[in-house]
Structure 1
Amino acid sequence: MDLELRHLRVVCAIEEAGSLTRAAASLGTTQPALSAQLRRIEAMLGGALFDRGRSGVAATPFGELVLARARAVLPGVDGLLADTARAARHRAAPDRVRVGSVGAPLLGHLILTIRALLPGAEVTARCQYAPAPLLDDLAAERLEAAVLGDSPGQELSPPGGVELHPLVSEPVFALLPAAHPLAAREEVSLGRLVEEEWAVPRPDSDRTREYWSTALALTGRRPRTPYEAEGRQLIEIVRSGLAVSLCQATFLEVPGVVVRPLAGAPLWYRHVLGWRRDGPLAGRGGEIVRRVGADYLAACASSPVYARWRERHPRSAQLAR
């Protein structure tokens, strides 16, 4: 008779219950059958594991050694079994892919890529302003994939079970009212822009505002930031001529606002793709990055300001390899 994992589970169950009678009930067997099994386990290991008494059982020194090893081994085995079972389920039936995204131009490209790779899958999506909640959702298996982003010095760390693949870093541009005097320039100095009133994102786990503040502090001046907003509200504040702000280089101009490069490209933003290692996209990372990267380059061409900037800086903002 060879030692098996089930024997270690029996020993741990007896120690946890404190008596053979209670352990037998928890294991769904009878006390005589469990006693006989314990005797066989002890004979196989070469010593008594428990002292029996009227009040129950207590581990012997030899039993404590066996229990310590069992407690070290079983969680890892249980984790392995759970992970492989989950991976098998995902590979057998990749019928649902839940995607999350920060405010970036890659969500549509990622969804189209997933549909091409998994034509039978149902793809759903939801957005967040910050990447941290999306990372949490990936780790907790509430999402299978996500479009994320970070800034220099604030790089994201993958939680357990999640793969992160940087796609490209692009410069951050100025977002201006169309009638603003700086809008007539080819590029804008950050030192000049800091003199204006600003609309900025709320301080949160995204840390975008923290990154902006660090760069603006290097100008020696502190900007006035009377407006806190994101998304459509921030754009409306800029469109109304109340403030200036910053945006991703791929931001598409809308009536009333213009995008201009910052002189010297002092600020950068990195696009990152993430998915679960045991999810339906596992093993397809290279194809996902290739397809979404190609779509990103096409999006760059549809943003005239960014396209001109890339022509002047051909070695910058290259796709990650």
Structure 2
Amino acid sequence: MDLEVRHLKLLCAIADAGSLHGAARALGTSQPALTNQLRRIENTLGGQLFSRERTGCVPTALGQGVVGRARPLLASLSALVTETRAAAARTGGGPRLRIGSTASRAIPGWLRRLRERLPSTETELQVAVSATALLRRVAAGELDMAFVHEVEGCPLRLPPGLDIRTLVEREPQFVCLAVDHPAAHRTIVDLADLAGDQWMIDPSVDGEWEGLRRVLNAAGLNPRVLHGDYLTAAGLVATGEVVTLCQPTSRPRPDMVVRPLRGDPLGVRLFLAVRNGAYGGELAGVGADLASAYWEAASHSPPYRSWLAERGLP
């Protein structure tokens, strides 16, 4: 087996995510496939690159050396691709706007507004779980901007060369419950009402497990926790198997409800990141479009709309 660029990207993804699960999500593959690929790479290089610990994957001394040398190689390749594509765009094919985002109800409205504002621009969207990975791609020139969230108390490591525009300083995190949950009839849910429930958390979402764990510990709770991905969370919530954090813009369904937590114990900061100097000209209105799309999504969520009205917010 010869070492290829994709193998270097895989190793860096594991180092960035800190876990095989998170790296698999970021790369769009399965964890077993990623594990097998890592094993083959380690066999090729003749040594263990990551130690598998209870808290995730940590690079060994050998792994640190390989990842450290891989990063500048990948950055150079990325710069080559970016510069080539930019040159191609200047000679034909029209301008492009490459957007990265963590999951958000604001995305459809944002894309609609961008089409109206920049009708001749081709927009590309890449949705990922890891805000850190998206920010690094912006800094490397692989994306033009990224809309991400930062969990309170768990600051993201911002790469140099980024211009940060905050959209919402503190968005409260709500809870999603089955419609027949005993607390579902309440307009505001106390954490104590969920003491006997199993929580579901996606460990590959930067800072979310740490933030929830801090909030639960402060409330004197030590519930059962299921680690998984949010793509399957809705089905488990609907059957009463788990409860989970959710964005306040989430819309209720016939089989589940969305409720604020009393005291708003956990919040996130929402912001747009672009490369320094890129936020100007035609892109100057992109942030305003995003803000409009976000508040449009908020208006379609009755629980969030009530929460905002109670605080005198638009």
Band the TM-score falls in, shorter-chain normalisation: 0.5 to 0.7
CA contact 1:228–1:234 (8 Å) conserved in 2? no
Alignment correspondent of 1:256: 255
CA contact 2:151–2:206 (8 Å) conserved in 1? no
Alignment correspondent of 1:267: 266
Alignment correspondent of 1:126: 126
Write out per-residue CA displacement over residues 112-145 of structure 1, whole angstroms, 9 at most, x where no aligned residue. Answer: 3433343211111121112011011111111112
CA distance in 2, matches of 1:284, 1:121: 10
Alignment correspondent of 1:46: none
CA distance in 1, matches of 2:88, 2:207: 34
CA contact 2:89–2:95 (8 Å) conserved in 1? no
Aligned to 2:220, the other structure's residue is in SS state: coil
**CA RMSD between the two structures:** 2.6
Write out per-residue CA displacement over residues 218-243 of structure 1, whole angstroms, 9 at most, x where no aligned residue. Answer: 01121111x22222201111111111
> Are the structure 2 counterparts of residues 174 and 182 from structure 1 closer, same or farther at C-alpha, using a change threshold of 3 Å?
same
CA contact 1:194–1:216 (8 Å) conserved in 2? no
Q: Alpha-carbon deviation of 1:150?
A: 0.7
CA distance in 2, matches of 1:270, 1:229: 23
Alignment correspondent of 1:192: 193
> Are the structure 2 counterparts of residues 148 and 90 from structure 1 closer, same or farther at C-alpha, using a change threshold of 3 Å?
farther
Alignment correspondent of 2:153: 153
Q: Alpha-carbon deviation of 1:205?
A: 5.9
CA contact 1:161–1:276 (8 Å) conserved in 2? yes
Alignment correspondent of 2:162: 162
> Are the structure 2 counterparts of residues 112 and 160 from structure 1 closer, same or farther at C-alpha, using a change threshold of 3 Å?
farther
CA contact 1:115–1:121 (8 Å) conserved in 2? yes
CA distance in 2, matches of 1:283, 1:163: 15
> Are the structure 2 counterparts of residues 102 and 250 from structure 1 closer, same or farther at C-alpha, using a change threshold of 3 Å?
same
CA distance in 2, matches of 1:298, 1:120: 25
The answer to whether the aligner puts 1:314 opposite 2:312 as a matched pair is yes
Alignment correspondent of 1:292: 290
Aligned to 2:176, the other structure's residue is in SS state: strand
> Are the structure 2 counterparts of residues 187 and 90 from structure 1 closer, same or farther at C-alpha, using a change threshold of 3 Å?
farther
CA contact 2:154–2:210 (8 Å) conserved in 1? no
Aligned to 1:210, the other structure's residue is in SS state: helix
CA contact 2:197–2:242 (8 Å) conserved in 1? yes
Listed as ranges, the gaps of 5+ residues in structure 1 are 1-81
Alignment correspondent of 2:108: 108
Aligned to 1:231, the other structure's residue is in SS state: coil
Alignment correspondent of 2:202: 201
CA contact 1:107–1:147 (8 Å) conserved in 2? no
Matched residue count: 229
Q: Alpha-carbon deviation of 1:101?
A: 1.1
Write out per-residue CA displacement over residues 54-97 of structure 1, whole angstroms, 9 at most, x where no aligned residue. Answer: xxxxxxxxxxxxxxxxxxxxxxxxxxxx9xx99x9699686111
CA distance in 2, matches of 1:251, 1:100: 20
Aligned to 2:232, the other structure's residue is in SS state: helix
Alignment correspondent of 2:141: 141
Aligned to 1:125, the other structure's residue is in SS state: strand
The answer to whether the aligner puts 1:241 opposite 2:240 as a matched pair is yes
Write out per-residue CA displacement over residues 7-27 of structure 1, whole angstroms, 9 at most, x where no aligned residue. Answer: xxxxxxxxxxxxxxxxxxxxx
> Are the structure 2 counterparts of residues 212 and 140 from structure 1 closer, same or farther at C-alpha, using a change threshold of 3 Å?
same
Alignment correspondent of 1:26: none
Aligned to 1:138, the other structure's residue is in SS state: helix
Alignment correspondent of 2:15: none
Alignment correspondent of 2:174: 173
> Are the structure 2 counterparts of residues 91 and 117 from structure 1 closer, same or farther at C-alpha, using a change threshold of 3 Å?
farther
Q: Read off the aligned partner of 2:195 and give its amino acid letter.
A: V
TM-score after normalising by structure 1: 0.65
Q: Read off the aligned partner of 2:179 and give its amino acid letter.
A: A
Q: Alpha-carbon deviation of 1:283?
A: 4.5
Alignment correspondent of 2:51: none
Q: What are the within-5 Å matches in structure 2 for residues 9-158 of structure 1?
A: 95-158=95-158
TM-score after normalising by structure 2: 0.66
Alignment correspondent of 2:14: none
Identity, in percent, stands at 28
CA distance in 1, matches of 2:161, 2:88: 14
CA contact 2:110–2:293 (8 Å) conserved in 1? no
> Are the structure 2 counterparts of residues 98 and 285 from structure 1 closer, same or farther at C-alpha, using a change threshold of 3 Å?
closer
> Are the structure 2 counterparts of residues 144 and 286 from structure 1 closer, same or farther at C-alpha, using a change threshold of 3 Å?
closer
Write out per-residue CA displacement over residues 146-191 of structure 1, whole angstroms, 9 at most, x where no aligned residue. Answer: 1100122223354233222110122111110111110011110012
CA contact 1:100–1:127 (8 Å) conserved in 2? yes
Q: Read off the aligned partner of 2:174 and give its amino acid letter.
A: F
Q: Read off the aligned partner of 2:240 and give its amino acid letter.
A: G
CA contact 2:237–2:256 (8 Å) conserved in 1? yes
Alignment correspondent of 2:70: none
Aligned to 2:286, the other structure's residue is in SS state: helix
CA distance in 2, matches of 1:121, 1:111: 11
> Are the structure 2 counterparts of residues 300 and 293 from structure 1 closer, same or farther at C-alpha, using a change threshold of 3 Å?
same
CA contact 1:97–1:144 (8 Å) conserved in 2? yes
Higher-Rg structure is 1
